[in-house]
Structure 1
Amino acid sequence: MTADLAGGYDLVVFDLDGVVYLIDKPIAGAAEAVGQLRGRGTAVAYATNNASRRAADVAAKLTGMGVAAEPAEVLTSAGAAATVLSEKFPAGSRVLVVGADALRDEVREAGLTPVAAADDEPVAVVQGYGPEVGWSVLSEASLAVRAGALWVATNTDRTLPSPRGPLPGNGSLVAVLRTALDRDPDLVVGKPGPALFTTAVAQARAERPLVVGDRLDTDIEGAVTAGLDSLLVLTGVSGPADLLAAVPAQRPTYVAADLAGLFRPAAESAVPPAAEDAGGWRVARDGDTVTLDGAGDPVVALRLLCAATWSGVPLSGIKAASDAAREVLSSWRL
C-alpha cells in the first residue's frame, strides 16, 4: 500500500472545471496526477455538472490536454438527466431542451424526442448549461412548465470557474426561470446529488473511493451525501474563507492547494489536523476568538483554523499575531 493520500483509495473521482481544467486551459499538474494514479493501477473517473459536452467529447478534450480519459470514465449531468427522463416517460415522449447540443443529443439517444417550443406540448423541460441560452428558449420553457411539464435541471451551479474569474453557470440560468415561475425545479440531477458518484463507484466496483473537487456546495456536499471521503483543492471556486465557514454537510475529509496533495501523506491534508501538526503555525483559542501566530504553509494554517471555526468560532473572531499570519488572513479576505 502506498503511504500517500491517494494510496488509501482504489478509485479517484475527479470533478473537471476548477480541478483538472479552467474552461479550456489545463490546470498545472493535472495530467501528471492522473498519469501517476494510472501508473500505480488506481482507477480514475470524471464527474461533471457541465451539461454542454457529451462523455466522448469530454474524454477527447481531456486527452487533447494530455489527461488520459476514456468516454466510459466520464459521467455528465446531461447523460444522467436524460437517463432519468427515459425512466419516467415512454419512448418518444417530447422533452423541451434548454441548453447545448450535447444535452439535446443525450435526450435523443435516450429514446426521447427533443423539442424547442411549448406548443409542442412537452412532458418535461430539461435545463442545462449552454453558452447560447437566451430569453427565447427560457420563455418557451417557462410556458411549458406552467402548462404542467416536469422541470428537471442538470445542476444548479451558480458559477463556472475560468481563468478570468467566476462566470455565470447553469444555476444562474435556472434562477431566471425560478424567478419567473416563483418555484424551484422539480428535480436537480447533478451534484450535490450523489448519483454521479455512486454510478462511478459501481462502474469501477470500487471499495475505497475518493472524490476530488473544488466546490463545497456540489462536489464536497455530494461526496458527503454519498458517504464518500473527499479532497477539496483550492484551484477553483471555493476558497479558504468558504472552507472556514463550511456547514457540516459541506466539510471535506482533506484539503490541499492542488492535486499534488494526492501524493503527500494523508495526515498532511486531513482537515482539521491533529493538534501537533502545526507546520510552523500556532493557534490559541479564547472563547469565540482564535489567534493565528507563526509562519508556514498557508494550507496548514487553514486546516488549523478549521478546527476552531468548525467548533463555533466565527470568521470575525480570527485574529493574527504575526506578520505572516496577517498576510495570510488578508489574502483570504479575512
Structure 2
Amino acid sequence: MKGIVLDRSLPSKIEFREVEESPIQPNQVRVSIKAAALNHRDEWCRQGLYPNISDGIILGSDGAGVISALGSEVTQWKVGDEVIINPALFWGNDQRAQSKDFQIIGMPTHGTLANSILVSSDRIHPKPKHLNWEAAAALPLAGLTAFRALVYQGNVQKSDKVLITGFGGGVAQFAAQFAIHYGAEVYVSSSREQKIKKAIELGAKAGFNYKERNWTEEALSVCGGFDLIIDGAAGDGLNDLIKVSRPGGRIVIYGATMGNPGKLEARRIFWNQLKIIGSTMGSDEDFQAMLDFVNEKQVHPIIDQVFRFEEAEQAFDRMKAGSQMGKIVLVP
C-alpha cells in the first residue's frame, strides 16, 4: 500500500510512498480509505514538535472508507460496510480523563493518510448517511474534541452565551455548530473577517476580531459577558477570556497553540467564581454521543479544500499557514 510517511531526512519531511502492509489480526478490520483529513498534530509531527515521533510512520488521524477485509474474530461487520474511524486509542474506563496508555492513530501507530489502514473493529462506526466521504473524514478527531469540550466539560445549556475562539479551525467550527444546534447564543472570535462572516451565516450572533485592542470591551458591550468559552489557544489571550467571562462562567481549554500565559489574573478568577477546565479528545462514550448528535441534527462539517495524496506537501503547507476555513481533506 502507499501512505504519506514522516521522513525528517527529506526537505519536505513527508513523502507519499510504498509501505509494507501488515497481516490482519483476528480482532481487526482493513478499511480502504476514501478520504482522510489533516489535524494540527500532523503538521506538528512534520515540524518535529510532537512528542515521541518516529520516521517511517504513516500520518493522519481522521479517515472514512469501506471495509475490505475482516479478521477471523470479527462478526458484527461485513466487507463493503461504509465506516468512519474513531482515532482515540486506549482511553480507559474513566470518563473523567484518559488513561496513561492513551494514544491517537497516526503516531506512534500508522494512520489514515494511506490507501488502507488496519484498525481494531471497536474503532469503527457507520458513516453518517447524510455526509459524503470528504465530510465524513473531516469529523472524527475535531468533532470528538469539540463535543467533549462543549458538552461533557462545558455542560452547555440553551440559556448560555457561548464564545468559540479561533473560529475557522477544525475544532472551533464544530464547537460553534454544535453550540448553535444546542440552542445556545453563540459568538466567535477570529483574526479574519471572512471567518467571522461565515460563522454568522451558520447562526452565530456576532464575532470579534481578537487582533483589535478593544475587542474585549466590544464583546462586553454586545452581550455582557459569556457563560461558556471554548478555547484552543491559551497563551496571554487567556486573560482576555477571563475578562469577558460572566461571574460563575466556565472556560474550557482544549489546546495551547499560543503556548502558556506569561501571567494569570488569579484575582479575577477567584473573585468571579470562574471555572477553568482542561479537555482533550474524548472517550468512546463521547464519540458515540457526538455521532448520534451529528446524525440527529444533520451537522455538515465545513471543508476548506480537498487535495490528492500526491499533493500532500501542499496540503500540509496550507495547514501550517493557518489560512484554512474548515478542514483540509486528502483523497487517494
Shorter-chain TM range is 0.3 to 0.5
Higher percent of residues as helix: 1
Using CA pairs under 8 Å that are at least 6 residues apart, name the structure with larger relative contact order, 1 or 2.
Answer: 2
Higher percent of residues as strand: 2
Q: Which has the larger radius of gyration?
A: 1
Q: Name the TM-score, length of structure 1 as normaliser.
A: 0.33
